[in-house]
Amino acid sequence: MQPEPAVLLAVLALPFLGAALIPLVYRVLGERTAYFAAGVAAVCLALLFTQYGMEGRVVVEWIPQLNANLVLYLDGLAFLIALLASGVGVLIFTYSGGYMHGEPWQAKYYTSLLVFMGAMLGVALAADLIALFVFWELTSVASFVLIGHYQRSESSRYAARKSMLITVSGGLFMLVGFLLLRFVAADAIGQATFALVGSPDSMIANAEAMRAALEESGLYLPVLALVGIGAAAKSAQVPLHIWLPDAMEAPTPVSAFLHSATMVKAGVYLVGRFRPLLITDEWMLAFAVLGLVTMTVAAILAVGATDIKELLAYSTASHLGLIVAGFGIANVYGGETGVLHILNHAVFKASLFLVAGIVAHEAGTRAIAELGGLREDLPITAGITAIAALGMAGLPPFNGFYSKELLFEATYEVGLEHGGLWWLLPVVAVFGSVFTFLYSIRFLMLFFGEKPSGLGEVHRPPWAMLAPPLLLAGIASYQALSYTGILPQVFLSGIADPALASVSAGEEAHHFDIHFPTKLSPYVLMSVVTIALGAVAYPFYDRLHHGVRRVRSVDLLSPNAYYDGGIAALVSVSDYVPRYVQTRLLRTYASTVMLGVCALGLGGYAAAGADIPAIGQLAQSVAAFVAGPAGLAIAIVLGVALVGAVAVSVAPSHIAGVLTLSILGFMVAVFYVLASAPDLALTQLVIETLVLVIFLLVLDKLPAFYGDLDVREAIPDALVAAVVGITVTFTVLTTTTDRPDTIARFFVERAPVPDEHGHVLLDYGGGGNVVNVILVDFRALDTMGEISVVAMAALAVLTLVGMRNRGENA
């Protein structure tokens, strides 16, 4: 069934409208703005549910002539991601109502969080690559603002800059990939299109043809790499994962929302969405390896974490790796792994982040070493943590176990099918999972054992903070029970199955078939090995922890060190910019601007293949002109003008220079009179007079005589002048020798000189002055633009010159 256009649009538009209203709402409601935002998210969620089960696209026309429309598409995968964004959004906003109590800049916080939610819904619903890209980058921008929420702290700013640089530059790689896809679509589909999904002429609908065309043009690997870099940057895949642990500078609800449940899912969403389009063996090699390496490396790093949010951040990167690996694997289980783990991970990781927020808020520290025995003070939180952390560890029968089983199954099948080195996939999957088990149990142990003596009094959290993780834990328990077969499998059949259909490519129709394993199969054995190894290794957790920290501190192995080094290099390079570009000397700016214009102009002519007009032809037409009726007079006038021009360049003082320049200008005006262009002549005269008067005004501020000429300065200036002169001459020659363009031909045909002159003008324009009628009637829109430019120039002078000292005082 087709989704209802108005409802789908409302789902997308409401968060942005809500964000625009937040500053006003905040004045009225104060800290209770959280519940307004939660309401907005809840409405989005409710509207989304009304569209449950629909599939199809919604086109909002913007510029139909240019085929520029906003196209939304709803299917299982889009629904899943949109569900996470709005559903977790409701919980996060509610939780923020408790967490953000007494925090600064709340209006900014809720505004950017709502904008983020809207952008994430946009990413999920976008049906073409441009909309996808725009919303994608918007999530990065919102994330930048949110990570830098405590804008006065240096570490917040560092973290915000880092995430911005990595995710946005990743997005730019992706954009190049999108452009290549559009280029290839011209061959494969018959038209260059950005449509990704949903229509018969979209890329995914023609996946086979697209893949063939990509392979043929040799662009498959570049596109795979570019899109992969975009997804990897966003989903914190090794080695681009370094921004995610730093992003924990953000308030904890932000971490829970952006950096576990939604924004980082944009990357895996992209991988899932492109899976049917690009899936091949190369795809599998790239993403399965990337995902498994990320999963393992990030899990090891999580063991080395000293802070609970840092632990969760690395763990998030690790689980995103698992999802990417799932989508990377080209068999049915791969797709199942990805889809199911998106759902499971969002549930358990969001609740763990919220738990971390409660612990940090109530115990006053996030250091793992200082925490323990929290069970006595936070019994409900401990229960929530047990359900979520055991799910994260992959222990049966909790939700994470089932998606991990699917990963083992998928990797095992790959090893069975391809053999050889592909057997490494299941081995790495088990190896990485051991570490996942270790840090999950370590997180759980915060609540058990003895309470360290340094830990002060731990308060009970308010209900606004406790209810959301409790609800998530409820969902997680339901998932556990339903996968096990005790309760109906609502999540599987209702949400995961439709999403599976969106990521499946060419595989036969497939449905989830999940139940508690009762027989010993190879992948059950893999789970057993994982848990057994984890249980054996857990007593040595502290040694592993210190070992990881020691390896991490080696600069050569740390992507962070490369990042910091790169940034430092950029900073030192940019120190050179003011020295050569921003010299605070007008002459530098003038020559930069003029040379830039000349380069663009001449480059344009070169690209368009403009010819240099033949000099002979030019001389011929000049001769014909001089031989005409007013030839002698014109020759004299131009001769005087030439004398004036020479006089300007040798004038000893400003007065002489200005006056001789005026000779030149007035001679040009006389030339216009002789060439029967009275309007031009009038304008030239008036302007010339005005310029002269203004010159008189500023003249006494300038030195009376020119200074001595410095050859070292004069030669570059002369070069610039020569280039500008050549460009202008060339421009005049090419534009005037060209054939009359359509506007000119229009008037030449309809208002021939002199008999019928004015006939058409009178009929259509109601005036006899051709210049003026063109200006105010035939081409009035051009004039409108020109006077806007004049007004803009005045505004620029007003603000740049007249108000330049106001910034500091106002």
Partner 1 sequence: MSQSGQRGPTGPDTDTTVIARTVTRLVVPIILLNAVALLLQGHNLPGGGFIAGVLTVTAFALVYVIFGREYLQRELLHSDASDGFFDGAVGEYSRTFTFGLALAALSGAGAIVLPAALGGEPFPFLSQAVVFVEHVPLYHEIEIPTALFFDLGVYFVVVGALLTILAVVGAE
Which residues lie near partner 1 (CB under 8 A)? 678-679, 681-683, 686-687, 689-690, 693-694, 696-700, 765-769, 771-773, 775-777, 780-781, 783-784, 787-788, 790-791, 793-795, 797-798, 801-803
The minimum distance between CB 760 and partner 1, in angstroms, equals: 14
Q: Name which of 520 and 801 has its Cβ closer to partner 1.
A: 801
DSSP label at 59? Answer: E
Please report how close the Cβ of residue 637 comes to partner 1 at its closest, in angstroms.
19
**Which residue number, 632 or 794, has a Cβ lying nearer to partner 1?**
794
The sign of the CA dihedral 413, 417, 422, 427 is positive
Asked if 180 and 226 count as a contact pair (C-beta separation under 8 A), the reply is: yes
Taking the least distance from each CB to partner 1, the nearer of 386 and 771 is 771
* Cα–Cα distance measured from residue 484 to residue 391, given in angstroms and rounded to the nearest whole number: 13
What's the closest the beta carbon of residue 633 comes to partner 1, in angstroms? Answer: 19
**Which residue type occupies 142?**
A
Shortest distance, CB of residue 217 to partner 1, whole angstroms?
Answer: 44
Contacts of 85 (CB under 8 A, 6+ apart): 117, 120, 121, 124, 261, 262
Task: Tell me if 357 sits within 8 A of 384, measured CB to CB.
Answer: no
Joined together, the tokens standing for residue 152 give 């006065």
Rounded to 5°, the CA angle 48-118-259 comes to 105
Which candidate, 540, 511, 516, 538, places its Cα nearest to that of 527?
Answer: 516
Please answer whether residues 659 and 675 qualify as being in contact, where contact means their C-beta atoms are separated by less than 8 angstroms: no
**Closest separation in Å from C-beta 787 to partner 1:** 4
Closest separation between CB of residue 689 and partner 1, Å?
Answer: 5
CB 692, min distance to partner 1, A:
9
Return the percent helix, strand and coil in the chain, to nearest 5. Answer: 75, 5, 20
Nearer to partner 1, 577 or 790 (CB): 790
In the bound state with partner 1, the residue whose beta carbon lies nearer, of 533 and 775, is: 775
**Comparison of 212 and 682: residue with beta carbon closer to partner 1:** 682
- Which of 579, 806 has the CB closer to partner 1? 806
| 40/760 with CB nearer partner 1 | 760
Shortest Å, Cβ 200 to partner 1: 36
CB 78 within 8 A of CB 124: yes
Nearest distance in Å: CB 793, partner 1? 6
Nearest of 406, 275, 402 to residue 347 by alpha carbon: 402
* Rounded Cα gap, residues 783 and 776, in angstroms: 7
Instruction: Tell me the closest approach of the beta carbon of residue 683 to partner 1, in angstroms.
Output: 5
CB 393 within 8 A of CB 432: no
First CA to last CA distance, the chain: 58
C-beta of 757: minimal distance to partner 1 in Å? 12
Of 487 and 784, which has the nearer Cβ to partner 1? 784
How many other β-carbons are positioned within 10 Å of the β-carbon of residue 746?
14
Our CB check for partner 1 shows the closer of 551 and 787 to be 787
**How far apart, in whole angstroms, are the C-alpha atoms of residue 392 and residue 272?**
22
- Residue 388, SS3 per DSSP: helix
Nearer CB in complex with partner 1: 192/792? 792
- Give the amino acid at 263: M
The smaller minimum CB distance to partner 1, of residues 709 and 801, is found at: 801
Supply the minimum distance, in Å, between the C-beta of residue 62 and partner 1.
19
Q: Which of 598, 634, 625, 635 is nearest to 730 (CA)?
A: 598
Our CB check for partner 1 shows the closer of 101 and 779 to be 779
Chain centroid offset of residue 593 CA: 30
Contact (Cβ atoms closer than 8 angstroms) between residue 433 and residue 67: no
Read off the amino acid at residue 694: I
Question: Shortest gap between Cβ of 267 and partner 1 (angstroms)?
Answer: 45
Long-range contacts made by residues 673-680, C-beta under 8 angstroms, separation at least 24?
674/630, 674/633, 674/634, 674/637, 675/630, 675/634, 679/769, 679/771, 679/772, 680/771
